Amino acid sequence: MFEPTLNYVSCPETWSATAPAEGASAPQHRMAYWQWATPGAQACNQVVVCVHGLSRQGRDFDVLARALLERSTQPLRVICPDVVGRGHSDWLTDPMAYQIPHYAADMLALLQQLQPTTLDWVGTSMGGLIGMVLAGQPGLPLPCPVRRLVLNDVGPNVQWQALERIGQYLGNTGFFRTEQEAADALWAGSTTFGAHTPEQWLALSRPMLKPVPGGFTLHYDPAIAKPFAALTREDAAQGDVLLWQLYDQITARTLVTRGADSDLLTPPTAQAMTQRGPKARIVEFAGVGHAPTLVAQDQVDAVTSFLLA
């Protein structure tokens, strides 16, 4: 069975409340990423980057990554970053830097290190927004354009009510005596992900945990909630305008995977995405809200068939 290796890339602090002292080098942080590769493909230039949602981490894509490697007829690397502040990545000194522009800059640094000649992108929620930023700006210094783009339950119009719901739990990293206790607590707030077996959910939950004396806590910096809490309805509306501008400039072949019960990506927005910009194809999954975990067989099949066609 395929297993990933943990790697790191150094990224410049592109956002800071204070400038470095004269003569001092700009501060940097490390972003972790998990690399999956077919045998002999460790330096392969055909790359799929999979980027997780707001409070998640790169091991969310284990099932999808294995499926891509098993089904690909060509050498392939699947790269799953832990966005800064999550998982094995560093925490930022300035919490207000936990925003999409900084994350996109980190991904540019990662892509410069990877140097792909073929680049596909799978982004769940926040990861999809980062993908839109990179794919929707032709002037960015990407090693190559994004060829295929999967936007998993996210679009240029993000519903304010969904943001309010997410804000209710974001930043509460908790304390759990056992992995199972943590998995049960995570499930209580994640039932919109749709049906999972206990084994599937425990596998998704383990990488979300960081050992602490006496038990576990969630893996991320609680400060990622600070810029999120400062967001206003007006800010969100302005962000939607910018996101539509980016979406309309995307030339990558685009698939939107949507939970049929999603409160973040509405049917009208999804329908508009089929008419504008890259004119995405939509696949919906019944019994799922925000967001599909890409673990269920029908979800894996939809994404792998799109990327490997």
240, 158 contact by CB (below 8 A): yes
What pLDDT, in 10s, does the model give residues 7-62?
A: 999 999 876 545 555 555 678 999 999 999 987 766 679 999 999 999 999 999 99
Q: In what order do the strands lie in the sheet with 281-285?
A: 5-12, 28-37, 77-82, 46-51, 118-124, 146-152, 253-259, 281-285
Size of the chain in residues: 309
What pLDDT, in 10s, does the model give residues 125-160?
A: 999 999 999 999 999 999 999 999 999 999 999 999
pLDDT at 16: 52
Instruction: Delimit the domains of the chain by residue range.
Output: 5-162+228-308, 174-219
In the predicted model, is pLDDT for residue 297 greater than 60?
yes
Beta bridge partners of residue 124, listed in sequence order = 152
pLDDT band at 280 (very low <50, low <70, confident <90, very high): very high
Percent of the chain with pLDDT over 70: 95
Taking residues 67-72, report their average pLDDT.
96
- φ, ψ dihedrals at 68, nearest 5°: -60, -45
Rg (CA), the chain: 18
**Lowest pLDDT segment from 14-23, 176-185, 273-282, 292-301:** 14-23
Q: Which of 95, 181, 122, 128 has the alpha carbon at shortest distance from 306?
A: 122
Q: pTM higher than 0.85 for the full model?
A: yes
Q: Which one of 3.40.50.1260, 3.30.420.40, 3.40.50.1820, 3.40.50.1970 gives the CATH number of domain 5-162+228-308?
A: 3.40.50.1820
pLDDT at 110: 98
More confident residue, 188 or 20: 188
What pLDDT, in 10s, does the model give residues 46-61?
A: 999 999 999 999 999 9
Helix (H) or strand (E) holding 70: helix 62-71
What pLDDT, in 10s, does the model give residues 79-108?
A: 999 999 999 999 999 999 999 999 999 999
Q: Which of 143, 146, 148, 167 has the alpha carbon at shortest distance from 264?
A: 167
